[in-house]
Structure 1
């Protein structure tokens, strides 16, 4: 009799457990762990190197995502600061989503504060060429920039203290045959209304624009100009999204503003850096560490370590090698080696690479 009772109890317990499992079984292992990617770039020259993307769109212009998604993407991908730059004049979604030219910033700001992403109030002045498209950063009221005459739009943006970036100057939809600097750009430049130029946009690299930046002391920028979902656009396993590295005194909005107006930027896209010689040289020197380990009368061997996400492609008259990202290279050089290299993926002009001597 006791055996039957015990058996019945175990059966009832099994039925009870089984019934609970049928109602709700949690499988948290299927969920994204929401981890943030780390972008390994050195702090240089006493500044913090902030990772920034100042060109992107949402449903409040011709993008396909809600503004908070841009913040989430930026956090997941390791950025420090972003600007949502919805088109001011051309907004095909306005009749569907409502709001005004300030709405994407206002919606995204609480999420940015929650995730420690610095969000810059901005918009894109969207005009035919010339002068083309310009992002205006640090606006106070984007709606006020929506004027019929493009010169009035720039004047209003400048009145608000905007930092103005000439977007995709070589975009074939506006410059199908060549990448030109127009008289209208000289007019804007002379009035202090071209603070930066995108030398890279989305998947396009404009070497001539880097020449303009260096010749005219204008900051080079790189940006995604993302309209869709960033992870569907870019190969984020092997690369980062295009971004502008800003050399800021501190990690805050005012320090970014100061750094931008002081032209302390490096354009970072693919495995390429583009910018002023002194910034690229400092970036390289802060990233690499060289150790000699074997020497004889004819040659000397070195281990060269790289602590950054940027591989360095070095070339000389008789020796070429790559120092891999977050890795090291074993390099053997003859004793009479002439220590002069160009780094093929670091550009100080459109067709000119950074030259270095290794600390051997």
Structure 2
């Protein structure tokens, strides 16, 4: 029989959060039931709840940065047992059979991967995310959270962590490489921590110097205010890799000029408008303008293990959701850039 849990749901665009009963499916043979302890607030949650990307399916329970413990397993589960510390990220299913799935890129499943929320399962039911006290997920999509990372600090790693880890690894961040991170927010602060732990020399870029001290504590050796035209000119040709984490419209030409020959500018933020760059700016230095979309399950586990080895967790502010308007306010604070650096909901506080 399905089980009922408590969750935070939005009934329609523009409506506030409310505490509701949420039905989770009964365990299938390959399912894991997780008692959720913490759920991070990602900017994608906000875009979806506010229907800024379109196609939001209400009522909706968001949250794809999930950390907790296993409370039950199906008869066919072999990798997890009751009591294990686990997480769930942006995916809750994929076909597991196509070339992309077999290559560890489940997010590009040819059949269509199933997102943790606002996505239809293969049985036609709509997935509900991690702003809840329990979730049931197929074993293939469950990640093990190693000892050495607190669960509250681990939750944001399931999106913000892998979203920044994947391009850093793919483009060779490490000793001898100069990496710039655009934006010091939920994604940016993780990019700085990870790039520094990989051994790269890290520079942060943001509109002002307000976060310069924070950036240094996170692992940056230099901070550039992008509003300082002279500093930006001086930085031209400096970086092997730039990871752009902001969702605002930026002049890509300005950032391409900061790359060394053969350098790459990787976008992980999702601005509302199309990017524009002259092909000559890329051809002139063998430069690459590209994007990166989370990471597969295997790479996400690799990221979690790396974080445990290097003592890395997200920098968080915990939220008590006993007053559900706290979450509404948190959304506004994220948009305003006032969080240091990820809000995490303590799901035990969701009202009964």
TM-score by structure 2 length? 0.26
Structure number, greater radius of gyration:
1
TM-score by structure 1 length? 0.26
